[in-house]
Structure formats: structure tokens, C-alpha cells
Amino acid sequence: MEYFKINGGKKLKGAISVNSSKNAAVALLMASLINYGKTTLKNIPQIEEVSRLVEVLKSIGVKIEKKGRDLVIEVPEEIQLAKIDQDAAMKTRSIILMVGALASRMKSYEIPQPGGCKLGSRTIRSHLFALENFGMNIESQSDSFLVTSEKLQAEKKIVMYEAGDTATENAILVAAQIPGKTVIKLASANYMVQDLCFFLEKLGVKIKGIGTMTLEIKGKTKIEEDVNYEISEDPIEAMFFFSLAICTKSEILIKRCPIEFLELELLKLSKMGFQYKIVKEYLAKNNKTQLVDIQTYNSELKALDEKIHPAAPSSAGINIDNLPFFVPIAMMAKGRTLIHDWVYENRAIYFTELSRLGAKIELLDPHRVYIDGPTKLKSTEIICPPALRPSAIILVAMLATPGESILRNVYSINRGYEKLEERLGQLGAEIELAKKNICK
């Protein structure tokens, strides 16, 4: 039972680099299953979510060699799915991508139902409706999915039931394994989907429309390539540092920010009064993703008149996972902010945990909260909710709170953030990762 001990209220200084993307890393780990050659994934984040998937892949016979921050992956001709590590698989939602990744290898297979964040009902209908177009049938059982397909067929056009990231990735993975052309409409254009497409291009899959909501994919009968691919940076981690800089009134340099996936967030923040400057622009090591270094400045914020909400599935906007970071920001802004998290049933309820730090948060319904600021913060002890981003915003708020606070059961944070206590310590934060022994 690990916990953070935090002596907050300190102004931070220095520079910090954004790490590679969690969501892209797990998608590419699953995508390695379609390759009969050797896959080298470079700059893999050292996080719990990745560790669980590595455990899953090794349990089914995949050879994985760790070289620093790189993973060298070799998939056998025959997958030993009966030996899958059930416990590891059920700790991550990304296991759902195995449905699409194994499509050309096996005519019938069973995978555990996914776990991950507890954010209410998260339907998989968008996966089912997309994959049935290829001739696949997915039967939901009590704790697993039974997948069957006699013969995969290329589909001229698929309209996504929802423009979800993992559902789009599953459809892309299947299309990549079928010769012929598939058009996917209302596809997610999110950062992890783009990274997956860039990786598949290196495997010889032809893809048009990357970064748009219409993808045209020409797959291959058998993919057997020795490839190296470097994962791009995580816009959600960049937003964590923006939120941290604002809440602690700190001037820090945040390096390697994937700007294309942060532009609206930064526009909203600038209208609230956030002062920052882009000091450098360059390409990520995948030679595709645009990165920038951003210097933040101590800023006085005011609430926006408009509500803050994530993007609708068929439009561009604030990333769903970036939305929670506006909660501690709104706590620092003068005035009332309405935040509408329409996607998840339970996540807005978790936002109210910040009231224990002194936040003035009014829960209107399972999706909407009013936040009145600025907040006079008080130190306290909180147990992390079973969800990554709500846990991360509590950490941000605690780092801005004078005095000693305790954040318990931080596995949720370690799922998605690498060695935060060490990296934040380099900025001057007083944070310690400790462990409480549990007697049995």
C-alpha cells in the first residue's frame, strides 16, 4: 500500500520533460501481436499499466527483452492463450485491444474482460459493432469475451458507433491484417490512434487520413517486418504539469509538449489569464508529432463564463482525459466555473474529494460540478479513488496546499505516471513515496 507524503505550498522551478504516452504505448504493445517479425518499441514509459501488459504478453508465450527504456518483442507462431495471466489482464482496460490484434491468428479465442479505471458503465458496443463488419462475432460472458470468426473480410466502409479511441484502434488493427481496402468513418483522431497508425505504416500497412476522422486502410495478408518505432510524448502528462504550474504559482519550463493535442486547452487557459510562452518548436523522434517547449509564468486566473467540457465524439476539442485538470485550476481562479464531464458517469463524483482540501465544489449531478474560487487550501489525508486522472488532480492540489498532506493507495497514479516523486523533487517539490506494510 504505497502512499505519497507531501509538504505542499512550495513554488517550483526548473525544467521537466514530458514522457512518452501511456495510451500509445499500450496500443503498440498490443499491435506487436500482428507482426511475425521483430518489433522494437523505443522510449516505453516505465509505468504499472505497461508492466501489466508485458506480464500478459509473456504469459502467452511472447518473448520480450528489456533494453533500458526499449522493449524488443518477438511473437511466436502459436499464441498460448490458455496460459494468459488473468490477474494482470484484468487490471488494465487495454486488454480489449487483444480482440483486434489476434484476429488473423486465431479463428476462436477468449480473453479476460478489461479492468482499469472505475468510471461507471463503459460500453464495448462500439467495439462489437465495428468488428462485426469484418465477420467477427464477440460474445460477452461473465468475466471474458469469446471471439469467433471463420473468415475475415475487408469492409468497404465502417461507421464507428462512437468515436472512441480503443474502439477505433481495434478496428484499425483488424483492417491492417486483411488485404483490401477498409474505410473507417467517425474514427478517433486522438494522439494514441495516430501513433498506432504511424507504427502500422512502418509495418507496410497503407493508411490515408491520419489525424482526420476518416481513415482509409489497405492491409496485408501476413505482416513480417523487423521494425523500430519510438513512441511520442503524452499530452495528458503535459496537462498535468500545466495544472501543477498554475496551482503552485510556479515558473517552470515544460519540455516536449505535443502541441497539436493541447491547443484548445492552452487557449482556454490563456483566456482565464494563464501566462506562458512557446520557446522552442521541433519534431518528436517519430518524425511525425509536433513538439514544443513551454515556459510558464505566475498567473492570476479568472473563471470562464462558459462551461468547460470535453470534445464531442465527432468534433475537435478538449481531450477527455485533460478535462479533470481544469478542476484544481478552477479552484485557483476568481469566480464560478461549471465543468461538465458528460462522458463518464462517476468521474465528476470523484472531483468532490477535493472539498476535503477546502475546495468549494457543488455536485449538480453525476456529470457536472460548480467550482467557486479562489480556494484557501488546507492539508489533509485522502485515499486515491480507483481512477487515474481524479487521483492525479488530488496530487496537484496537495502540492499546492501548505502543510503536510497524505495521499494513500497511489497505484492509480503509478498506472499512468512514471516516478513522479523523483521528477517532481527535481523541481523542488517536497514529496516522498512511502509504503505501509499490511499484516495478514
Domains of the chain by range and CATH? 2-18+234-435 (3.65.10.10), 22-230 (3.65.10.10)
Residue with cell 486522472: 389
Q: Flag whether pLDDT at 122 surpasses 90.
A: no
Confidence of residue 437 (pLDDT cuts 50, 70, 90): low
User: 309-368: per-residue pLDDT in tens?
Assistant: 997 654 567 999 999 999 999 999 999 999 999 888 788 999 999 999 999 999 999 999
What is the model's pLDDT at position 343?
Answer: 84
Are 349 and 327 a contacting pair, CB within 8 Å? no
CB 229 within 8 A of CB 28: yes
Answer yes or no: is pLDDT of 275 > 60: yes
**pLDDT for 312:** 64
User: Would the pLDDT of 440 be above 50?
Assistant: no
pLDDT band at 115 (very low <50, low <70, confident <90, very high): low
Least confident interval from 240-249, 276-285, 345-354: 345-354
Buried b (16+ CB within 10 A) or exposed e, 154-180: bbeebebbbbbbbbbbbbbbbbbbbee
**What is the C-alpha separation between 308 and 429, in angstroms, rounded?**
29
The secondary structure element, H or E, covering residue 431 is strand 430-435
Q: What is the DSSP string of 202-215?
A: HTT-EEE-TTSSEE
pLDDT of residue 345: 78
pLDDT for res 236: 97
Helix (H, G, I), strand (E, B) or coil at 411: helix
Query: Who's near 369: CB < 8 A, 6+ residues apart?
Result: 327, 338, 339, 348, 351, 352, 361, 362, 363
Average pLDDT, the chain: 93
Q: Give yes or no for residue 118 having a pLDDT over 80.
A: no
Q: Lowest-confidence range among 90-99, 226-235, 403-412? A: 90-99
- The average pLDDT across 8-27 equals 97
Where residue 32 falls among pLDDT bands split at 50, 70, 90? Answer: very high
- Does the pLDDT value for residue 245 go beyond 80? yes
User: What was the pLDDT predicted at 391?
Assistant: 96
Q: Which of 89-93, 217-221, 309-313 has the lowest mean pLDDT?
A: 309-313
d(CA 62, CA 48): 19
DSSP 180: E
Share of the chain above pLDDT 70, in %: 96
Higher pLDDT, 119 or 418: 418
Confidence grade of residue 439 (pLDDT, cut at 50, 70, 90): very low
User: In terms of pLDDT, which residue wins out, 152 or 322?
Assistant: 322
For 410, what's the count of Cα atoms within 13 Å in the CB-facing half-sphere?
27
Question: What HEC string does 63-125 produce?
Answer: EEEEECCEEEEECCCCCCHHHCCHHHHCCCHHHHHHHHHCCCCCCEEEEECCCCCCCCCCCCH
Task: Please enumerate in sequence order all residues whose Cβ is within 8 A of that of 100, keeping only pairs 6 or more positions apart, or say none.
Answer: 30, 131, 169, 170, 171, 172, 173, 174
pLDDT-wise least confident of 5-9, 51-55, 315-319, 427-431: 315-319
In whole angstroms, give the CA distance from residue 74 to residue 28: 13
| pLDDT exceeds 70 at position 119 | no
* pLDDT attached to residue 253: 98
Cell of 300: 492570476
The one-character DSSP state at 381 is E
